[in-house]
Amino acid sequence: MKIIVTGGAGFIGSVMVQYLVNKYPEDMIINLDKLTYAGNLENLKPVEDKPNYRFVKGDIADRKFIFELFETEKPDVIINFAAESHVDRSVEHPEEFVRTNVMGTTTLLDACKAYGIKRYHQVSTDEVYGDLPLDRPDLFFTETTPLHASSPYSASKASADMFVMAYHRTFGIPVTISRCSNNYGQYQFPEKLIPLMISRALADEQLPVYGDGANVRDWLHVEDHCQAIDLIVRNGREGEIYNIGGHNERTNLQVVKTILAALDKPESLIKYVKDRPGHDRRYAIDPEKLTKELGWKPQYNFDTGIRQTIEWYLDNKSWWERIISGEYQNYFKEMYKDRVTD
């Protein structure tokens, strides 16, 4: 098969690309990424010379480019990770999220309609469901939970999901959607909670925690997420939505304190800051459908996963230090200028 992974230079996308390249050497994996601030081709160093891997620079919202790419490559599968995803940025610049997350998705769907596809998979988020009350630990998001977006980011992802299902119903495009809980693990961009806290703690800088830190997230290791997507793409039922979560709920404050303890840093580094607008209180995923239908189970619990993640960031300081300094953006020019389609 020929698989295009959009957003394959980002955090989850790059882990997905490595997973597919290594597991399926008979498949051709094309990494399509615009290389915005969060795209980092250094993430793909382990596979960049593999014969079944290729990088293409491009924008999923560029209609002419996408149609030409489909005409040339004739892909069998699209896995769409490409998205603006940082909630704080969506509050400041919502129009960028509409362009990439909504218009980019419909552009890909139009290309699928024009050229045919075996499977289009949309990588979504549990944030489309809104949030759950802190005093009801018995409640979980299921695939039938109504959409109730709280931020411009989650609203753009909910809109994209609705377009995906509409194209399936109207045009018969073979689609699946996955909605995951908060990911963590290697290669996560340092603006996100866990790598941000690790890098700041190592520098003995203050660790900003929104509000009272009681917001609850269900944490999912990125490798478990990628294995689940692979199962859905290959064996999931067309037109279905699958939730991916690991039942690893922690408050933001618990996560921060876990990191500080692992790094032997004092809790006095914690600084509570003004909460962001519309901050969801609790996310919790019920992955029973995925487990029952496809046999998926997470390999990591949070305790083992966070230890592995902290160790990775300790062992790869040069990776995140280059990002913080901005030097990582030169990697494309240095290493790929004669090897990619731009």
Sign of CA dihedral 97, 103, 106, 108: negative
**104-108 long-range CB contacts below 8 Å, 24 or more apart?**
104/6, 104/59, 104/60, 104/61, 105/60, 105/80, 105/160, 105/163, 105/164, 106/160, 106/163, 107/60, 107/61, 107/62, 107/63, 107/66, 108/6, 108/60, 108/66, 108/78, 108/80
- Check if the beta carbon of residue 153 is closer than 8 Å to that of residue 86: yes
Query: Among 232, 247, 251, 249, which Cα is nearest to 287's?
Result: 247
The residues annotated as belonging to the active site are 126-127, 153
Beta strands 28-33; 53-57: pairing state: parallel
Helices (H) and strands (E) counted in the chain, each on its own, are 13, 12
Cα 21 to Cα 40, 51, 122, 199, 342: the distances in Å are 17, 9, 20, 30, 22
Query: Among 102, 73, 78, 57, which Cα is nearest to 4's?
Result: 78
